[in-house]
Amino acid sequence: MCGIVGLVGEIVVSDLIEGLEKLEYRGYDSAGVAFLRDSSLCVEKNKGRVASLKEKLSELLNERITLGIAHTRWATHGEPNDINAHPHTDCQSKLCVVHNGIIENFKELKKRLEEVGHRFGSDTDTEVIPHLIEEYYTTDLVEAVRKAVKLLEGSFAIAVIHVDHPDIIVGTRKGSPLILTVGNGVAGIASDVTPLLKYSKDMVFLEDGDIFCVSKGGFEVFDVVGRKKERKPTHIDWTYETAQKSGYKHYMLKEIFEEPSCVAATLSGRIKSAKVHLPEIEELQDLLASSKTLKVVACGTSSYAALSFKYFLENLSDVCVDVEVSSEFRYKRPNFDENTVLVAVSQSGETADTLESVRLAKSKGAKVLAITNVVGSTLMRESDHTLLLNAGPEISVAATKSYVTQLVLLYLLGLKIVELRDQWNERCTKLIDSLLRLPEVLDATLSRTEHIKEVALKYKDFQHFMYIGRGLGYPTALEGALKLKEISYIHATAYPAGELKHGPIALLGPEFPVFAIAPFDALYAKMKNNMIECKARKAKLVVLTSDDCEDVREIADDVLSVNSFSEQLYPVLMAPVIQLFAYYIADALGHDPDKPKNLAKSVTVE
């Protein structure tokens, strides 16, 4: 996955760099820019992060330009080096291209182009694009792009500039996101909205097959046969400031501290007269009231939010919630039909396996409900109905506030389903009350950050960690282990505590600590037995519990605690604790938690 940005209008070189900095979460092994200066193309690119590119361009940062494109890369074809970094040019260095995605038939195209005299300099799949456009170019850049695109197979979002056209950016998308905006004196395109927010909040979410031409005064969209298409902007409420670090050392830390306000935004307008109000799913009501099974697909952290939803809803109703990771679901024989509701959970709304699962489900007539954070994302556009997290932009690769808001929104959905199935009872009314109090109780969890940091630092030098939990504590354990491994690179694994004796306990010892999710709930007594077993193996024990648990200090080496609260809501209250624990370890080890190695924010390829 890569990030692309293009700006046209009254800009300076550093505007392009600033745009790239917003997209660096999408890939950061090399970066580059191209802009027009004195009617010639100026291209700078290098291996490494945007910061080194910025340094290379330091003399030019305030230079006024009218047009430029930029790219931050996560290598798929060709190792990350200066040559393979984007932008890529044609033989005459008259046009330049940035690309996000994969051109699957690049080998055949490259061979054909070489046969007619094109010379290639890189190992990338992308380089066929400028050469193909060069091949078709006479005077009309849109026409040349249109003809070139017809030959491309795979997924792509592309932006092109040409020296003969100093006031337009042309491009297209298929399978990779691309957003366009026209603001006051500046128009832009980008892989997500964050680099564009400073120019306008009205965003056009381009659709697959769209070919666009944007100038500072406006834009046009065509289909692949050249017919004009109407594309209306969507107004985005996110502000430019929410996409900044605001004094925090990392986006991850800032995003954890935003959790109380994000949860308030997720809840806003969705609880009325002590019942859940979700007008977005009105058309699904009959199915949700009658289906025996609800299917849920997601990846990574989103799949752990989905698993919590399963425990939550199955405990309150007679519906069976079938949760699967999308990368498995999409290759299975579909055993569902038009009476099935598939809930697809994805923060970004661009995760390739989740999108393919949605397509499979739709091909069988199932109704798809998306739970996403990104307005206009592919998931939102391809689903029948959408519930938005309203968490604001999440920049850090590590999912934090999106996880917490997914839990809250899925719980709201769960309560709605309980109501639709006539299974509402006193517990549900109490849960509504507790949900409304969440922002304030999450604040209380965050007020314990110093203690969480202190405990985390004691464990930073261990090579392994075992997370355990029961019931709703189990998905929390899975998420705790994922967070720790993805940002600190410490090996962490998670098990339902009752499974320990079936194998994993063999690993435990003084070098292999245990992180137990053990609130004082209905399963605490069972958890206590498991924790005693761990201690008997001389494993260090960190216990994440609730304030009403009195005896845990007798067994734990370290105790982390949250306010005593509704049992079902502990996954929400405990989320910041497992996130901060992982964050402080990663930071102490000198790793950048916002950009963990080998990972990207949205996994738009299989």
List residues near ligand M6R by CB under 6 A.
299-302, 346-348, 351, 354, 397-399, 486, 599, 602-603
- Residue 570 DSSP code: H
Half-sphere exposure of 307 (CA within 13 A, CB side): 21
Residue 298 Cβ vs ligand M6R, minimum distance, rounded to whole Å: 6
Residue 304 Cβ vs ligand M6R, minimum distance, rounded to whole Å: 8
CA atoms of 212 and 221, how far apart (whole Å): 4
**Nearest residue (CB) to ligand M6R, 346 versus 566:** 346
Residue 479 Cβ vs ligand M6R, minimum distance, rounded to whole Å: 8
Residue 518 pairs in a beta bridge with: none
CA atoms of 105 and 391, how far apart (whole Å): 38
**Nearest residue (CB) to ligand M6R, 68 versus 593:** 593
Extended strands (E) in 300-366 = 320-325, 341-346
Structure tokens at 71: 């790219």
**Nearest residue (CB) to ligand M6R, 482 versus 505:** 482
CB of 573 closer than 8 Å to CB of 246: no
**At CA 384, angle to CA 224 and CA 438, rounded to 5?**
125
- Residue 183 DSSP code: -
Give the CA distances from residue 562 to residues 259, 315, 445, 551, in Å, rounded to whole numbers and listed in that order: 15, 23, 6, 15
User: Of all residues in this chain, which one has the CB nearest to ligand M6R in the complex?
Assistant: 300
Do β-strands 30-37 and 40-47 pair in parallel, antiparallel, or remain unpaired? antiparallel
Residue 397 Cβ vs ligand M6R, minimum distance, rounded to whole Å: 5
Residue 44 pairs in a beta bridge with: 33
**Nearest residue (CB) to ligand M6R, 200 versus 348:** 348
Residue 469 Cβ vs ligand M6R, minimum distance, rounded to whole Å: 18
Q: Which residue has the tokens 């066929």?
A: 128
| DSSP run (H or E) holding 112 | helix 106-115
CA atoms of 580 and 446, how far apart (whole Å): 9
**Nearest residue (CB) to ligand M6R, 420 versus 603:** 603
Residue 374 Cβ vs ligand M6R, minimum distance, rounded to whole Å: 8
CA atoms of 570 and 435, how far apart (whole Å): 11
Contacts of residue 210, Cβ cutoff 8 Å, sequence gap at least 6? 172, 173, 221, 222, 223, 229, 231
**Nearest residue (CB) to ligand M6R, 291 versus 373:** 373
Residue 594 Cβ vs ligand M6R, minimum distance, rounded to whole Å: 11
CB of 585 closer than 8 Å to CB of 387: no
Structure tokens at 475: 């998905």
Do β-strands 293-298 and 341-346 pair in parallel, antiparallel, or remain unpaired? parallel
**Nearest residue (CB) to ligand M6R, 187 versus 299:** 299
Residue 175 Cβ vs ligand M6R, minimum distance, rounded to whole Å: 15
Nearest to 64 by CA among 14, 11, 18: 11
Residues 563-595 as b or e (16 or more Cβ within 10 Å = b): bbbbbbbbbbbbbbbbbbbbbbbbbeeeebbbb
**Nearest residue (CB) to ligand M6R, 128 versus 456:** 456
Active site residues: 2, 601
Residue 396 Cβ vs ligand M6R, minimum distance, rounded to whole Å: 8
**Nearest residue (CB) to ligand M6R, 301 versus 445:** 301
Give the CA distances from residue 586 to residues 35, 434, 510, 575, in Å, rounded to whole numbers and listed in that order: 37, 33, 21, 17
Residue 602 Cβ vs ligand M6R, minimum distance, rounded to whole Å: 5
Residue 398 Cβ vs ligand M6R, minimum distance, rounded to whole Å: 4
**At CA 145, angle to CA 116 and CA 143, rounded to 5?**
100
CA atoms of 572 and 312, how far apart (whole Å): 12
**At CA 429, angle to CA 423 and CA 434, rounded to 5?**
130
**Nearest residue (CB) to ligand M6R, 32 versus 593:** 593
CA atoms of 441 and 561, how far apart (whole Å): 12
**Nearest residue (CB) to ligand M6R, 180 versus 298:** 298
CB of 389 closer than 8 Å to CB of 382: no
